[in-house]
A and B are shown apart, each in its own frame.
Chain A
Amino acid sequence: MLSIKNLHASVADKPILKGLTLEVPAGEVHAIMGPNGAGKSTLSYVLTGRQGYEVTEGSATLNGEDLLALEANERAAKGVFLSFQYPLEIPGVPALTFIRTAMNAQRKARGEEEIAAPAFLKLARETAASLKIDFEMLKRSLNVGFSGGEKKRMEIFQMAMLSPRFLILDETDSGLDIDALKIVSAGVNAMRSPERGMLVITHYQRLLDYIKPDRVHVLSAGRIVASGGPELAHELEAEGYDKYVQVAA
C-alpha cells in the first residue's frame, strides 16, 4: 500500500527528513512515535503535498503510484487523508458545505457522479450521530470557535464522510478528553479494513490502547530508527526516547 523509500525532504532549505524508509501494507495500522521536532508532521505534509516541503531524494508511492508527482488535491482524490495536528478555521464556510464541496471535487477527479443532496445529508446525519457530533454544529463555519477537541472530532467526521483509502492521523488524540478519545478511536477503528492502511502519529501510548497498531516505529531526527510490535510503544512510554536520540545523532 504505502511505500516510502529513502525519503529526504527540506523545509526552507533545512533538511528535516533524512532517509526515511517505511512500508505500510494494506489492512495494517502503523504508529509513529518520536520526540518533538523529529519530523513527524513534516512526513505527513510531504505525503499530502503541502507547498514548501521539498523532496530532495527518495520516493513515496501508494499502491505503486507515485504520490510525490501529484498535486495535493489529486492525492486526496487517490484517497490520502490527513487529520491535521492543528486543523484550520474556515470562516464563512459551513462545515457541511466545505465537506460536500470537497467530496464532489474528489468524485469529479475520479470521474464519478456528484453526490445528491439528500444522500449527502443522510450520510452526514448518520456519521455525525456515530461520532456524537451535534448536527447543528455542522451548519456553523468550519472549526471557527470550536474547542481543540471539537476540531479533532471534526477531522474524524470529515474522514468518515470522505472514506479515504489511506489515513494519516497527526496527534489526533491531543486535546481530546477521555470520552472523546473513545468515540474518535471507535470512529477510526470502524474504518479499519483489508483495503485501508493507516499511519497514526502520537505521543501517547493511551491512544494505542484504543487503536491497536500492527507495528510501531520510532521517528527521530528525520529517520525511522526503530520498529517493533505494540510492545515498543509501552517501552517508549516507560523509558522515553533517550537511546534513540543518541542513535540518530
Chain B
Amino acid sequence: MSLSTALKTGDVTLLPSRRDENWRWTDLRALIRDLPAGADAETVGYDGPFAALGGQERVWVNGHAGGDSQITVEAGDRVAVGFRFISTRPSGNASRVSVRVRPGGRLVLLESYEAAADGAIAAVDLDIEVQDGGRMERIVLAADQAQSITVSIAEVTLGAAAAYAQTLLTTGARRQRLETRVAHPGADASVRLDGAYLLADQRHADLTTIVTHGGVDGATSQLTKGVVRDQARGVFQGRIVVEPGADRTDARMGHHALILSDRAEVDAKPELLIFADDVQCAHGNTIGALDKEAIFYAMQRGMSVDQARAMLTTAFVGEVIDRIEDDGAREIARGWASRQLEGAGD
C-alpha cells in the first residue's frame, strides 16, 4: 500500500488509510476519490528555494526526470546538489531517485517539494545509501501548495562510521507525509533526524521516522519542533528500534510543539523499542501554548503582542535551524522560518 503504487495502477484501494496503524493520522484513502492522470514534462523558469546557493540542480517536473535519476558521490569527493520535485498541474505523479555516497564521500543534498498546482498529487521515493565513512546532510524544504498532496519516503541505508544528518522543513499541504526510514548498522555510524513543521490554515504535515539500530555502537539524535495555528494539524511519529544485540546504542528523541490556536491539533507518537542491553535512550515530548508570562515580559519592554509571539516562536524553532551544518542552507532555513512565523501573532 503506497501512494506511488496507487498512482501507477490508478487503483484507489491501494492508498494508505487509517486502517493502517502507521497512517491513522494521515488517511489518504478517505481523502482521494479519484487519482488524477499524469501530466507532461514542462520547463520551469523560476528558481527553487535553494537557488541562492548556486551549485548543480536536478529537476523533476510532474514526475519526469530532467536527467539522470541517480547520483553517486565517489570516494573522496565533496558534492552539493539540489533536487527539485515540482508539480505544475493538478496531476498525479511519482518520482524515484537513488543516491549513493561511496566510502569517504561527502554530499549535501538540498531538496525541495514544490507542488505549485492545487490538486497535484505527488509521490517521491528516495533510496539513499551512505557507505562506510561517508557523510551526507539532507535538507528538505517542502513548500507545497495548500491544496496539494505529497508523500515522500526516504529509505536510508548506512555503512560503518557513516554520518547521516537530515532536517525537514515544511509548511504542510492538504495532506503531506515526509517519512524517513533508516537502517542503522551501529558501528560508529551516526544519525541526526530533525524537523520543523510550521503550519497555518487547514494544512497538514506528518513527519514520520523509523530508525532501526541493528548493531552495537550506534548513535541517533532527533529533534523535531512544530508550530501550528488556525485549524492546522501536525503529526509526529518517531520510532527508534534497538534490536537484540545492538548494545551501547545512544538514541535521543525530542519532539516539541506549540499550539497557537484552540482549533489547531498536534498528534505525536514517540516510541522507543529497546531489545538490547546497556543502551542510552531518552525521549522528550511536549505540546503546549506560548508562555503568556514571556509575552507580557516582552510587551513590557515595548514589543507588540504580535512581535512578541513571532519572536518567541522563531526562537523556539531556531534550535532546529541551528543544528543544520551547511552554512548556506542554515541561513536559508532561518529566513524561511522567520517569514513563516511573522504572522504567528495574528
Binding site for B on A (CB under 8 A): 48-51, 71-73, 75-77, 81-82, 84, 87-88, 90-93, 98-99, 101-103, 105-106, 109, 141, 158, 162
A interface footprint on B286-318 (CB within 8 Å = 1, 0 otherwise): 000001111011111111110100011011101
Q: Find the residue from A50, A103, A106 having the highest chain B CB count within 10 A.
A: A50
User: In residues 163-219 of chain B, which contact A (Cβ within 8 Å)?
Assistant: none
Q: Which residues of B contact A49 (CB under 8 A)?
A: 299-300
- CB of B20 closer than 8 Å to a CB of A: no
In whole angstroms, what is the CA distance A77 to B297 when docked?
Answer: 14
- CB of B42 closer than 8 Å to a CB of A: no
Contact between B312 and A90, CB atoms less than 8 A apart: yes
Q: What is the CB-to-nearest-CB distance from B346 to chain A, in angstroms, rounded to a whole number?
A: 16
Q: Which residues of A contact B304 (CB under 8 A)?
A: 71, 73, 105
The chain A residue sitting closest to B317, CB to CB, is A92
In whole angstroms, what is the CA distance A75 to B292 when docked?
Answer: 18
Q: What is the CB-to-nearest-CB distance from A241 to chain B, in angstroms, rounded to a whole number?
A: 28
User: In residues 245-297 of chain B, which contact A (Cβ within 8 Å)?
Assistant: 291-294, 296-297
Given contacts A92-B315, A93-B311, A105-B307, contact A98 B294 (CB under 8 A): no
**B residues contacting the other copy or chain, number (CB 8 A):** 22
Binding site for A on B (CB under 8 A): 291-294, 296-305, 307, 311-312, 314-316, 318-319
Contact between B301 and A162, CB atoms less than 8 A apart: yes
Contact between A90 and B294, CB atoms less than 8 A apart: yes
Given contacts A90-B312, A91-B315, contact A103 B297 (CB under 8 A): no
Q: Which residues of B contact A81 (CB under 8 A)?
A: 300-301
Q: What is the CB-to-nearest-CB distance from A145 to chain B, in angstroms, rounded to a whole number?
A: 15
Q: What is the CB-to-nearest-CB distance from A42 to chain B, in angstroms, rounded to a whole number?
A: 14
Q: Which residues of B contact A73 (CB under 8 A)?
A: 299-300, 302-305
The chain B residue sitting closest to A84, CB to CB, is B297
Q: What is the CB-to-nearest-CB distance from A232 to chain B, in angstroms, rounded to a whole number?
A: 29
Q: Which residues of B contact A48 (CB under 8 A)?
A: 300
Q: Which residues of A contact B297 (CB under 8 A)?
A: 84, 87-88, 90
In whole angstroms, what is the CA distance A162 to B302 when docked?
Answer: 9
In whole angstroms, what is the CA distance A88 to B294 when docked?
Answer: 6
Q: Which residues of B contact A103 (CB under 8 A)?
A: 302
Given contacts A88-B294, A88-B297, A90-B312, contact A76 B318 (CB under 8 A): no
Contact between B292 and A98, CB atoms less than 8 A apart: no
Contact between B301 and A50, CB atoms less than 8 A apart: no
Given contacts A73-B305, A93-B311, A105-B303, contact A98 B319 (CB under 8 A): no
Contact between B296 and A51, CB atoms less than 8 A apart: yes
Q: What is the CB-to-nearest-CB distance from A95 to chain B, in angstroms, rounded to a whole number?
A: 11
Contact between B294 and A51, CB atoms less than 8 A apart: no
Q: 7 A-B contacts, Cβ less than 8 Å apart?
A: A71-B304, A82-B300, A91-B319, A92-B315, A92-B319, A98-B301, A103-B302
Q: Which residues of B contact A141 (CB under 8 A)?
A: 315
Q: What is the CB-to-nearest-CB distance from A228 to chain B, in angstroms, rounded to a whole number?
A: 30
In whole angstroms, what is the CA distance A91 to B307 when docked?
Answer: 16
Contact between A76 and B302, CB atoms less than 8 A apart: yes
Q: Find the residue from A75, A99, A101 having the highest chain B CB count within 10 A.
A: A101
Contact between A102 and B294, CB atoms less than 8 A apart: no
Q: Which residues of A contact B305 (CB under 8 A)?
A: 71, 73
The chain A residue sitting closest to B318, CB to CB, is A92
Q: Which residues of B contact A50 (CB under 8 A)?
A: 296, 300
Q: Find the residue from B296, B307, B311 having the highest chain A CB count within 10 A.
A: B296
In whole angstroms, what is the CA distance A240 to B97 when docked?
Answer: 78
Contact between A77 and B302, CB atoms less than 8 A apart: yes
Q: Which residues of A contact B300 (CB under 8 A)?
A: 48-50, 72-73, 75-76, 81-82, 84
The chain B residue sitting closest to A102, CB to CB, is B301
Q: Which residues of A contact B311 (CB under 8 A)?
A: 93, 98, 101
Contact between A72 and B299, CB atoms less than 8 A apart: yes
Q: Find the residue from B293, B297, B315 having the highest chain A CB count within 10 A.
A: B297
In whole angstroms, what is the CA distance A98 to B315 when docked?
Answer: 11
Given contacts A50-B296, A90-B294, contact A99 B301 (CB under 8 A): yes
Q: Which residues of A contact B301 (CB under 8 A)?
A: 76, 81, 98-99, 102, 105-106, 158, 162
